[in-house]
Amino acid sequence: MTAAGPRRAPVRRLVVLYDAHCSLCRHIRNWLLSQRWLVPLALIPAGSQAAWQRFPRLDHASTLREITVVGDGGQVWTGTDAFIVVLWALVEHRPKANWLATPAGRPFARATMLAAAAWRGAARGPGDPASGMLCDDQCAVPR
């Protein structure tokens, strides 16, 4: 598992950027708040004013398409890596995160992320810019 940005910096805090308009993302946010943390988490709506102020160089449009986690050392994880890092921060789930980061576990982490993305796309529907689909009143066309 690697992060874009500085390496070797210890991770003391993580910021999870989540889609506040997605019911699954809100559910996961609430679940994360109920967990015991090994690494403190801040949960901020992706694309929000707070996210823009805190991370002005981040591609905020992409944070609405996939989970993004930012470490206090400037590390940035997205997608499957972000999912694994969030689990790594939790007391009960660090062993699972360590396994998911291995070649044997990574396909399971990827499958989980693909399932979540499919659910989000179906829940949003055509015409919603964050759904990844465009609509001309007749059909949905994947981007």
Least confident of 10-19, 54-63, 114-123: 114-123
Q: Are 18 and 46 in contact (CB under 8 A)?
A: yes
Q: Quick one: what percent of the chain has pLDDT higher than 90?
A: 65
Residue 59 dihedral angles phi and psi, to the nearest 5°: -80, 95
**Structure-token pair, residue 71:** 């470490």
pLDDT higher than threshold 70 for residue 135: no
pTM, full prediction: 0.79
pLDDT tens digit string along 3-31? 555 556 789 999 999 999 988 899 999 99
pLDDT at site 7 = 57
Give the pLDDT band of residue 134 (cuts 50, 70, 90).
Answer: very low
Q: Are 28 and 55 in contact (CB under 8 A)?
A: no
For 100-109, what is each residue's pLDDT tens digit?
999 999 999 9
| CB neighbour list of residue 130: distance below 8 Å, 6 or more residues apart | 19, 21, 22, 64, 65, 124
Note the pLDDT of residue 114: 86
Please say if the pLDDT value at position 133 is more than 80: no
Percent of the chain with pLDDT over 70: 80
